[in-house]
């Protein structure tokens, strides 16, 4: 199972971290299969220091790459010809999706003219009120959507993103599209029965891991749902599509290989966690 090389790789999403002070690339040989490890880690049988060992999955020259990083609130970026989209996830403090336009200082968003700024009003579920925030975005930007962002990708000539409500008690999470019709148009296309955690996309499908299971969105964003594994206690941070229905998901202490065809999921733990 450690021989992951030479898969045909389809990937257009990568989770990023805004304040990494540490990163280390690990060989796949540094990991060993351990399906009970996620449960054991969170029952405290490993030192608490291991909670800092977040393994981010990515693709490098068509091979799966595992990078150990310090965890911090989510930051997702996606450059387009219209400018750079920046998605933020600040937990209970709220988040948002912003556009740093490549030209001008204003754009129509859902039919309303919006101007660039460096400060925004944003709802906080923790404080149960709106607060003024300065998002972790370099330079001025335009707010496109509010709520924590859990994934941002390009798919079928549109952008897609997953988010939660500004008020976490209203609903659990949504999948939305961004199209460019007389400016920017945001359309909610699906509500999840669970909080979205990480998202990845291939040329033909979008995969969203939630607290209830994994959703697959295929041509026309027609969705299906597969209950494979509850990832919420593993703090997943990234997802890549190795080939159709085969996913790698980065988590605390290691990474998952999830086969959506046969329901098999294996967790690979960093070997020095077991010492």
Per-residue pLDDT reduced to its tens digit, 148-194 = 899 999 988 889 999 986 554 555 789 999 998 888 999 999 998 88
pLDDT given at position 17 = 39
Q: Is residue 20 scored above 50 in pLDDT?
A: no
The more confident residue out of 134 and 226 is 226
- What pLDDT was estimated at residue 38? 59
pLDDT of residue 79: 92
Predicted TM-score of the model (pTM) = 0.79
Least confident interval from 30-34, 125-129, 137-141, 241-245: 125-129
Going from N- to C-terminal start, the domains of the chain cover 1-71+197-275, 73-191
Q: What is the pLDDT of residues 53-106, one digit of tens each?
A: 789 999 998 899 999 887 655 778 899 988 999 888 877 777 889 998 888 888
Give the per-residue pLDDT at 8: 33
- 205-256 pLDDT tens trace: 999 998 888 999 987 777 787 776 667 777 888 999 999 999 999 988 889 9
Q: What is the pLDDT of residue 71?
A: 64
Contact 72, 253 (CB under 8 A): no
* Count of all residues that appear for the chain in the document: 275
pLDDT at 47 over 50: no
The confidence band for 4, taking pLDDT boundaries of 50, 70 and 90, is very low
How confident is the model over 111-124, as a mean pLDDT?
A: 70
For 260, other C-beta atoms within 10 Å of its C-beta total 18
- Tell me the pLDDT band of 126, cut-offs 50, 70 and 90: very low
Confidence of residue 3 (pLDDT cuts 50, 70, 90): very low
Q: 3 versus 83: which is more confidently predicted?
A: 83
For the cut 60, the answer to whether the pLDDT of residue 108 exceeds it is yes
Q: Are 204 and 248 in contact (CB under 8 A)?
A: no
């Amino acid at each position: 199972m450690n021989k992951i090389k030479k898969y045909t790789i389809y990937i257009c999403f990568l989770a990023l971290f805004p304040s990494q002070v540490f990163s280390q690339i690990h060989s796949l040989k540094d990991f060993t299969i351990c399906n009970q490890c996620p449960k054991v880690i969170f029952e405290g049988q490993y030192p608490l220091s291991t909670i800092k060992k977040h393994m981010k999955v990515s693709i490098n020259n068509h091979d799966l790459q595992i990078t150990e990083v310090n965890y911090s609130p989510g930051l997702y970026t996606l450059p387009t010809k219209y400018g750079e989209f920046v998605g933020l996830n600040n937990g209970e403090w709220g988040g948002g999706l912003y556009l740093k336009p490549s030209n001008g200082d204003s754009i129509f968003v859902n039919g309303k003219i919006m101007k660039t700024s460096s400060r925004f009003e944003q709802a906080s579920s923790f404080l149960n009120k709106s607060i003024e925030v300065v998002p972790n975005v370099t330079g001025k930007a335009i707010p496109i959507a509010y709520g924590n962002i859990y994934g941002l990708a390009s798919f079928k000539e549109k952008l897609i993103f997953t988010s939660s409500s500004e008020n976490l008690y209203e609903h659990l999470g949504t999948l939305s599209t961004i199209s460019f019709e007389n400016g920017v148009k945001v359309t909610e296309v699906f509500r999840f029965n669970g909080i979205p955690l990480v998202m990845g996309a291939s040329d033909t499908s979008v995969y969203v891991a939630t607290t209830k299971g994994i959703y697959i969105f295929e041509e026309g964003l027609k969705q299906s749902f597969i209950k494979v594994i509850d990832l919420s206690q593993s703090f997943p941070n990234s997802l890549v599509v190795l080939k159709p229905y085969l996913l790698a998901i980065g988590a605390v202490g290691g990474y998952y290989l999830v086969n959506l065809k046969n329901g098999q999921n294996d967790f690979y733990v960093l070997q020095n966690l077991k010492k």
